[in-house]
Amino acid sequence: MGFHHVAFASRDTQATHRFYTEAMGFELVKTNTGKTPAGGWAKHFFYDTGGGSLIAFWEIHDDAQVKPDWSSDISGGCGLPPWVNHLAFEAHTEEQYQAALVRWNDNGQDVAEVDHVFCKSLYTADPNGITVEWCITTQPFTEADKKKAAEDLENPKPEFAPQPAVQVHRAGG
């Protein structure tokens, strides 16, 4: 079952809009603006990510409910490294995966590419400090994978996987 939408706060609506339309290739399909319960207002804007799912962002204007020093960086705001909380989109083909890399670099984004063995991933940060990923599955999950996953979940000292190979693709170079 897919999700309808996932929503995050945005500190810069125009930068968020440029990233998700130009760097991600998504289409803005809906906005909804209204009052907040405390008397401020908010704008909720939605992008079609394909396959019937949406990603949405909030532009919030509500001094009674929002701290002035709030952070849109969901990992950093929680005191975590950027790779912990992230948003992964599926690349269905190698061509789509490579096109995402080119699009991100062409839009000024540095990209980290990681080979996780069962999948490959491209990572960058959006204007809100949220780590965004394009991921392509490179091998199907087996019954042995599922069995090991269940064992690892319960194991307080699971065996470590090998460190994945990482390649950085710099924008413009």
Q: What is the pLDDT of residues 93-150, one digit of tens each?
A: 999 999 999 999 999 999 999 999 999 999 999 999 999 999 999 999 999 999 999 9
Yes or no: say if 128 and 9 are a contact pair by the CB < 8 Å rule: yes
pLDDT confidence tier of residue 3, bands split at 50, 70 and 90:
confident
1-70: CATH homologous superfamily? 2,3-Dihydroxybiphenyl 1,2-Dioxygenase, domain 1 (3.10.180.10)
Q: CA-CA distance, 29 to 45, in Å (whole number)?
A: 8
Kindly state the helix (H) or strand (E) to which residue 122 belongs, with its residue range.
strand 119-125
Which two structure tokens, joined as six digits, stand for 145? 């994978």
Nearby residues of 107 by Cβ (< 8 Å), 6 or more positions away: 19, 22, 23, 171
- The residue assigned the tokens 């008397």 is 39
Question: Cα-flanking dihedrals φ and ψ of residue 41, to 5°?
Answer: -145, 160
Topology of domain 82-173, CATH: 2,3-Dihydroxybiphenyl 1,2-Dioxygenase; domain 1 (3.10.180)
- The predicted-structure confidence for 5-35, as pLDDT tens digits, reads as follows 999 999 999 999 999 999 999 999 999 999 9
Q: Where in the chain is the domain with CATH 3.10.180.10?
A: 1-70, 82-173
